[in-house]
């Protein structure tokens, strides 16, 4: 399977007077692409537009050259898509197997035996193969999130759109999620919205959204280097004009901002690069 | 020993275990399969517990039929039954569709199955269940027997009208608007003709057919609204 080619061009989305996306552009084909940003930056709106459940007010989205604003092409694009929204779930009265079986039906898999095999494959993949007959109400919050991820994997989609997939998962479950994402990066284009920079660190590309616009687009390493020369460690309390600082386990302070003379500069992290990118726009020049 | 194709063996083994591990179909599933409803359609119906509310409403209708039949001479109770019965499928659809009723609604929107097809299957299911329960019981009631089927075309019309309006408004608002319209129309007809059952005569049935056809046309022409989270919320 070839990963989908995703092209977002000049997308604008408004809700009443509020602009949720303001001329957003992005290009992706294959690999993992993280969409980072604070709450309200427009991450979920961007993912909903890409997942074809929201129609942009202007601009275009193309999935393998298909235009989702046209009905026939939208249906075709959806056949290549796996989508796991942030707040979605399933009716708690339904059995895990039945919920995924319904999703397989909606994805156009009509053959009973093939559908059952696929449903068990994705249930096994997310570690819920032995809970197939359980009602969803009997599953833990993390298991329910995994079930939402499992439905997105049905049909081996070439474009996976995952909104905060790690939310509510314990460390073991996060590792399993990383394994799954690692597998999918070879066969799919995976768009992952997250506010966790450690999730973004495993991605091939990162987009930083802030106040409805794209503030950065590049690799995780490139994002980290945005803070180069602005991160240092020192003994004693940091100067008052630092942008951020925290005490490390060794008692020294790690600081982000304009370094004083003679301090020990260190390699910046992805999180520090992210903070600088967000900060640059919100601080007047 | 003969060498086996491991990949083929694994695929066959997975297929066998999937057959063995699949949960047993529920009673409703087995019933629907027995009457030859395709398995994938059965799944669309059964995996939607919100539809059960509409079945409960149908049971409520049975109670209403009983009340209507309590006094064969009472045309007012028959009027109440005929006005309320067509709204049951509409309420069933409204309660089973949209983000408020179904937490997987947004996921379902992103699948290749057309939103209108899904909502139409659910509407038909609710309509069929309501008919299956109300008609036989109404026929058993001495008072309701003459009008046992008089509510069917109005039910079709108001269900189609609610689908059409759902392309403009969220499901519950659309249903509320249709309910207000339906109650108003039947009351005005009753007052104008000085007959409680005037809306259910042959002319009323013809009007219901016209409304149903027009509403279906609107729903089909605006079907993209069922594909968009902003409308189909």
User: What is the pLDDT at residue B112?
Assistant: 93
pLDDT score of B26 more than 70: yes
Q: How close B221 gets to chain A, by Cα (Å)?
A: 12
Inter-residue contact B79 to B201 (CB < 8 Å):
no
One domain, residues A132 and A260: no
Listed residue (B170, B159, B177, B167) closest to B120, CA to CA: B159
Task: Give the global pTM.
Answer: 0.83
Residue A267 within a domain: yes
Q: Which candidate in B32, B111, B114 is best for mutational testing of the A interface (most A CBs within 10 A)?
A: B111
B58-111: pLDDT as tens digits: 667 666 665 555 565 677 777 887 888 788 777 777 777 777 778 888 999 999
One domain, residues A76 and A161: yes
User: What is the pLDDT at residue A283?
Assistant: 47
In whole angstroms, give the CA distance from residue B79 to residue B209. Answer: 20
Helix B171-193 vs helix B75-84: crossing angle, to nearest 10 = 150
Of A51, A84, A94, the CB nearest to B49: A94
Per-residue model confidence as pLDDT tens for chain A (285 residues):
799 999 999 999 999 899 999 999 999 999 999 999 988 889 999 999 999 999 999 999 999 999 999 988 999 999 999 999 988 888 888 889 999 999 999 999 988 889 989 999 999 999 998 898 899 999 999 999 999 999 999 999 999 999 999 888 888 888 989 999 999 988 999 999 988 888 888 899 999 999 889 999 999 999 999 999 999 999 888 888 888 888 889 889 999 998 988 888 999 999 999 999 887 655 443
- Considering only CB atoms, which residues of chain B are within 8 Å of chain A? 14-15, 17-19, 21-23, 38-40, 43-44, 46-50, 102-114, 118, 223-224, 227-230
Residue A285 within a domain: no
One domain, residues A240 and A128: no
Residue A183 within a domain: yes
User: What is the pLDDT at residue B71?
Assistant: 60
Torsion of CA A131, B111, A58, A280, to 10 degrees: 20
A173-182: pLDDT as tens digits: 889 899 999 9
B106-137: pLDDT as tens digits: 999 999 998 888 888 877 877 787 777 777 77
Give the number of C-alpha atoms closer than 13 A to the C-alpha of residue A230, restricted to the C-beta side: 23
Task: List, in sequence order, every beta strand (DSSP E) within chain A.
Answer: 5-15, 18-29, 31-36, 58-63, 81-84, 159-163, 189-194, 205-210, 213-218, 231-234, 244-247, 253-256, 264-265
Tokens encoding A91: 């009716």
One domain, residues A161 and A151: no
One domain, residues A145 and A120: yes
- Which residues are within 8 A (CB) of A232 and not within 5 positions of it... i.e. 6 or more apart? A254, A255, A259, A263, A264, A265, A266
One domain, residues A129 and A191: no
Q: Which long-range contacts (CB under 8 A, 24 or more apart) does A16-19 make?
A: A19/A212
CB contact under 8 A, B44 and A102: yes
Residue A230 within a domain: yes
A157-213: pLDDT as tens digits: 999 999 999 888 888 888 989 999 999 988 999 999 988 888 888 899 999 999 889
One domain, residues A132 and A262: no
User: What is the pLDDT at residue A285?
Assistant: 36
- % of chain B with per-residue pLDDT over 90: 20
Of A48, A101, A152, the CB nearest to B43: A101
Three-state SS string over A33-64 comes to EEEECCCCCCHHHHHHHHCCCCCCCEEEEEEC
One domain, residues A196 and A74: yes
DSSP string, A112-152: HHHHHHHHHHHHHHTT-GGGTTSBGGGS-HHHHHHHHHHHH
Q: Which candidate in B110, B113, B220, B228 is best for mutational testing of the A interface (most A CBs within 10 A)?
A: B110
**Interface size between A and B, measured as CB pairs under 8 A:** 120
Residues of chain A neighbouring B111 (CB-CB closer than 8 A): 78, 103, 106-108
Q: How close B90 gets to chain A, by Cα (Å)?
A: 21
Domain count, chain A: 3
User: What is the pLDDT at residue B54?
Assistant: 64
- The residue range of the domain holding A247 is 223-279
- Pairing mode, strands A31-36 and A58-63: unpaired
pLDDT score of B140 more than 80: no
One domain, residues A248 and A214: no
CB contact under 8 A, A53 and B108: no
In whole angstroms, give the CA distance from residue B37 to residue B31. Answer: 9
């Amino acid at each position: 399977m070839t990963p989908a080619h995703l092209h977002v061009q000049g997308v604008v989305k408004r809700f009443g007077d509020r602009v949720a996306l303001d001329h957003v552009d992005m290009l992706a084909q294959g690999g993992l692409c993280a969409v980072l940003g604070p709450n309200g930056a427009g991450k979920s709106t961007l993912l909903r537009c890409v997942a074809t459940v929201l129609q942009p007010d202007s601009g275009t989205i193309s999935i393998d050259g298909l235009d989702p604003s046209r009905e026939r092409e939208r249906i075709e694009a959806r056949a290549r898509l796996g989508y796991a929204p942030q707040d979605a779930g399933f009716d708690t009265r339904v059995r895990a197997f039945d919920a995924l079986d319904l999703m397989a039906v909606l994805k156009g898999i009509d053959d009973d035996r093939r559908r059952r095999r696929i449903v068990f494959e994705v249930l096994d993949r997310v570690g819920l193969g032995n809970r197939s007959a359980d009602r969803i109400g009997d599953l833990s919050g993390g298991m329910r999130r995994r079930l939402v991820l499992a439905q997105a994997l049905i049909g081996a989609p070439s474009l996976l759109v995952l909104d905060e997939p790690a939310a509510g998962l314990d460390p073991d479950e996060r590792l399993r999620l990383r394994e799954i994402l690692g597998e999918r990066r070879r066969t799919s284009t995976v768009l992952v919205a997250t506010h966790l920079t450690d999730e973004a660190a495993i991605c091939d590309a990162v987009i930083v959204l802030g106040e409805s616009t794209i503030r950065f687009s590049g690799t995780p390493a490139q994002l980290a280097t945005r803070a180069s020369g602005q991160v240092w460690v020192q003994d004693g309390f940091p100067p008052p004009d630092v942008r951020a600082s925290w005490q490390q386990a060794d008692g020294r302070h790690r600081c982000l901002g304009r370094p004083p003379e003679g301090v020990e500069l260190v390699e910046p992290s992805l999180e520090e690069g992210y903070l600088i990118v967000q900060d640059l726009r919100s601080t007047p020049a | 020993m003969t060498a086996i194709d491991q990949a083929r063996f694994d695929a066959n083994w997975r297929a066998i275990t999937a057959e063995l591990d699949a949960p047993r179909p529920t009673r409703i599933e087995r019933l629907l399969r027995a009457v030859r409803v395709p398995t994938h359609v059965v799944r669309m119906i059964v995996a939607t517990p919100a539809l059960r509310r509409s079945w409960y409403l149908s049971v409520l209708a049975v109670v209403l039929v009983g009340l209507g039949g309590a006094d064969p001479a009472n045309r007012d109770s028959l009027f109440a039954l005929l006005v309320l019965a067509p709204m049951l499928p509409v309420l069933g659809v409204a309660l089973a569709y949209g983000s408020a009723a179904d937490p997987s609604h947004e996921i379902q929107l992103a699948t290749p199955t057309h939103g209108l097809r899904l909502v139409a299957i659910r509407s038909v299911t609710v309509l069929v269940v309501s008919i299956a329960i109300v008609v036989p019981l109404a026929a058993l009631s001495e008072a309701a027997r003459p009008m046992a089927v008089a509510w069917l075309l109005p039910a079709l019309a108001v269900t189609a009208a609610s689908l059409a309006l759902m392309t403009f408004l969220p499901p519950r608002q659309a249903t509320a608007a249709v309910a207000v319209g339906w109650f108003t129309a039947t009351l005005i007809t009753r007052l104008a003709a000085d007959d409680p059952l005037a809306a259910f005569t042959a002319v009323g049935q013809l009007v219901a057919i016209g409304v149903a056809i027009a509403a279906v046309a609107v729903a089909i022409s605006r079907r993209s609204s069922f594909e968009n989270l902003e409308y189909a919320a």
